[in-house]
């Protein structure tokens, strides 16, 4: 499936999760712009994240400029967190795109869980949203139960 298809499936499943849990469990705040921005960011990134193992993947060409901007900004404002995070993002993206086989480990449930757990420090709701959007990619590719 292509970028548009993965985004479509991710947006649909992400929106269903957001709306259902908002009305029944009171998750996800629609009154703050930051919260809405995070939801959009998570849906976009995690719907495409499995294709980080593809050199021409949209997520690769999203992460490289973000890493470069973060690195330059961190250097200019003397912020080591930005600098190291940007360099790390570029490095991980390059290694995954260059050396991982397509539909290998990055197309697994274990990778999705690990990548989604990064959000647990902000909110478990975002972590669950990230995993659902990631899993939508696997489902759209027909890889329903690939654990590793």
Number of domains in the chain: 1
> Which pLDDT does position 148 carry in this prediction?
86
Contacts 24+ apart (CB under 8 A), 112-117: 112/46, 112/49, 112/50, 112/138, 115/46, 115/49, 116/46
- Supply the pTM of this predicted model: 0.90
Q: Which domain holds residue 76?
A: 3-140
Residue 21 is assigned to a structural domain of this protein:
yes
Q: Given a cut of 90, is residue 91 above it in pLDDT?
A: yes
pLDDT of residue 127: 97
pLDDT by residue (tens digit) across 15-56? Answer: 999 999 999 999 999 899 999 999 999 999 999 999 999 998
| Residue 85 belongs to some domain of the structure | yes
Residue 145 is assigned to a structural domain of this protein: no
pLDDT average, residue stretch 60-79: 95
Residue 4 structure tokens = 């548009």
Distances (CA, A) of 132 to 11, 25, 101, 141, 148: 10, 17, 23, 14, 17
In a domain, 148, yes or no: no
């Amino acid at each position: 499936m292509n970028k548009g298809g993965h985004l479509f499936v991710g947006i649909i499943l992400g929106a269903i999760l957001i709306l259902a849990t908002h009305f029944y469990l009171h998750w996800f705040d629609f009154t703050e712009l930051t919260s809405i921005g995070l939801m959009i960011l998570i849906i976009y990134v995690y719907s495409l994240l499995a294709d980080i193992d593809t050199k021409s993947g949209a997520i690769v060409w999203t992460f490289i400029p973000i890493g470069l901007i973060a690195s330059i900004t961190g250097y200019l404002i003397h912020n080591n967190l930005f600098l190291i995070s940007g360099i790390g993002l570029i490095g991980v993206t390059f290694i995954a795109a260059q050396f991982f086989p397509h539909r290998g480990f990055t197309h697994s449930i274990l990778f999705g869980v690990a990548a989604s757990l990064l959000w647990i420090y902000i909110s478990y709701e975002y972590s669950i949203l990230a995993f659902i959007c990631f899993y939508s990619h696997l489902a759209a590719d027909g890889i329903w139960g690939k654990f590793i």
